[in-house]
Structure 1
Amino acid sequence: MKYDYVIVGAGLFGAVFAHEMSKKGKKCLVIDKRDHLGGNVYCEDVEGINVHKYGAHIFHTNDKKIWDYVNSFVEFNRYTNSPIANYKGELYNLPFNMNTFYQLWKVKTPEEAKAKIQEQVEASGIKKPQNLEEQAISLVGKDIYEKLIKGYTEKQWGRKATELPAFIIKRLPVRFTYDNNYFNDKYQGIPIGGYNKLVEALLKGIETKVGVDYFEEKEKYDSLADRVVFTGKIDEYFNYQYGKLEYRSLDFQHETLDTPNYQGNAVVNYTEADIPFTRIIEHKHFEFGKQDKTVITREYPKEWEEGSEPYYPVNDKKNSEVYQKYKKLAEQSDKVIFGGRLAEYKYYDMHQVIASALARASKEE
């Protein structure tokens, strides 16, 4: 055996696992079928701007250990996620807070805002929400639902809100303070110089190969190591024997503009149904860039199909049952470790993927 571990996928799970095992003196080979390392956190340099190639990645966590861990590789900036919602040209602050309520109803005190929401919730008469639409209205009333939730959610899921289960929004964050910070987490930021710096530091001194399709030479790579760490789609690994798991996907349309500042914010959501994209990202604002040009990305949600990137697991009852069958197969495999968003069919934030990889690596001798 040439290696202790062959790690399939150079995203955060694979990179953290490889780093931790290398610290223990193990020899790792990391392979990825894309032509770059970093998985979905990869950034491309365009006009000196770090463009989040696979969608906006904003690091946030309450876990000090994870925050200290990532900061030991690269310094993080003080970026705070404060998205703006654009509904038919009207602008609203997110998440729903006193700024939003003032923009909607001109109310100025928390009492007035609470009364307005309560009045709309009661007027709806919804006692037992049967779907996402009813659930949302029963939580925040009709105005917020129709302007800021309905269109965006229907675009995101590709289904009518009345066809989506109520549990998707068990609760909606409503703040009765003038606070536009989207996340409640204590720690938040973006690596200074982009996420590639983090991935490069994790994989420093570790052998990597890009542009390699594991499945095309599976026997060869399996034979190179005692163990394989697989971070791709679990259903693909088992040759779809129980059927294909479903995902939502995204199309990103990147555009370089000859202006230093297009929208004045990193994230602007377009919440009306008639606009086909869900949001526009302006990447330079993640790092407070002062470049002469700017790069924007329109995000178009779509159903996943063969050849497109799987982004969000559809964790409904049907898919969860199929995943459980694959999970049983995975548990029977002594040689292969399954980890990460696709292998665990789980919607992970970055800090959760890192925590999962650290936990898995700590179990290895």
Structure 2
Amino acid sequence: MNYLVVGSGLFGAIFANEAAKKGHQVKVIEKRDHIAGNIYTKEVEGIQFHQYGAHIFHTSNKVVWDYVNQFAEFNRYTNSPIANYHGEIYNMPFNMNTFNKLWGVVTPAEAKEKIDEQRAVLGGKEPENLEEQAISLVGIDIYKKLIKDYTEKQWGRSCTELPAFIIKRLPVRLTYDNNYFNDKYQGIPIGGYTQIVEKMLDHPNIKVQLNTDFFDNREQFEAEADKIVYTGMIDQYYDYKFGRLEYRSLKFENEILDEENYQGNAVVNYTDADHAYTRIIEHKHFEFGTQEKTIITKEYPADWHPGDEPYYPVNDDKNNGLYQHYKDLAGKEGKVIFGGRLGMYKYFDMHMVIAEALSLTKKYF
């Protein structure tokens, strides 16, 4: 069969690779001038630069881990971000190091007692919004210093207007452990992420066409293909017939600095309202770099407008209800498969995208 894959991110690349191995002919079109979607990295000053923000691979799924390790060797990087609140430095995720710095407590029992004391202000009520959910998990001090302003910058809304579920799985540990993820496997591909997608698409049955927007020649593309795998915005595919889904976007400010080490950590979150950005990424620390220069990226959350890059689906009741209408239409399609973060209107980490794509191709082929 002739497959058209719209988008060369992880989902599209995995589908293309699996289809090609089964003998199908695959054309991958990509509107950007490079492959790999938002996991795209390139070498700048000898450093692997994450062009669309920090990507840290983590999973407890051995099938996913073994699969991705076919395409790259991973280092031992462990995500241990730190939080900067008006110059005060705290460890993330919230753990005994955080509680010790904040309250001077030393034992887990002391930390638990302090958290219990602070969350008593809720009087045992079921949290109705993000603010109440956060206080119920970590108390008032941590909420005010490390959650409130950061979250409001991130979502562009007050914490009292945000749903509680956004923060339901906030990592809170009564151990001295700064590892953000609980997953069994974690690391960064040595030499960057782009190579992974390059190898997936390096097959004689796959043709890749960059700088190509599906919607510029939609009728022609649809006529050429027996099947389409579409990883763009599902509402755009249906010409927004039920209305536009909402997203959050990001703006990046990148600098090459003539110094060896700017902040001493790959990720520093700025949790106060005085800084418009939510975090600074120093790319060399993902690969323990010793280059003479360094590259930093300031990350600014932004409202999404048509034409902007849609990074995060806004999965509140209103948007999920709207998406359901599009999903119902998609379920009646015989020729089109929707996948990925935008095609399924769901926030996915990398390992989740891989699992989804492998699950689909297993059923499909």
Question: Is the contact made by 1:124 and 1:141 (CA closer than 8 Å) also made in structure 2?
Answer: no
Whole-Å separation in 2 of the counterparts to 1:40 and 1:222: 25
The residue type paired with residue 154 of structure 2 is: Q
Partner of 2:48: 50
Question: Is the contact made by 1:268 and 1:281 (CA closer than 8 Å) also made in structure 2?
Answer: yes
Equivalent residues in 2 for 1:1-365 (5 A)? 4-125=2-123, 127-205=125-203, 206-365=206-365
The residue type paired with residue 187 of structure 2 is: G
CA positional deviation for 1:125: 3.6
Question: Is the contact made by 2:42 and 2:192 (CA closer than 8 Å) also made in structure 1?
Answer: no
Q: Which runs of at least 4 in structure 1 moved beyond 3 Å after TM superposition?
A: 123-126
The residue type paired with residue 230 of structure 2 is: F
CA positional deviation for 1:89: 0.1
The size of the alignment, in residue pairs, is: 363
TM-score normalized by the length of structure 2: 0.97
The answer for unaligned runs of 5 or more in structure 1 is none
Moved more, 83-92 or 199-208: 199-208
Whole-Å separation in 2 of the counterparts to 1:76 and 1:172: 26
**Cα deviation 1:278-297 (Å, max 9, x = unaligned):** 00000111111111111100
CA positional deviation for 1:129: 2.4
CA positional deviation for 1:219: 1.4
Whole-Å separation in 1 of the counterparts to 2:130 and 2:61: 31
**Cα deviation 1:88-139 (Å, max 9, x = unaligned):** 0000000000110111111111111111111111245452323211221122
The answer for unaligned runs of 5 or more in structure 2 is none
DSSP-derived class of the 2:360 partner = helix
CA positional deviation for 1:167: 2.4
The residue type paired with residue 118 of structure 2 is: Q
DSSP-derived class of the 1:153 partner = helix
The residue type paired with residue 35 of structure 2 is: L
Whole-Å separation in 1 of the counterparts to 2:167 and 2:94: 14
CA positional deviation for 1:363: 2.4
How large is the Cα RMSD of the aligned pairs? Answer: 1.1
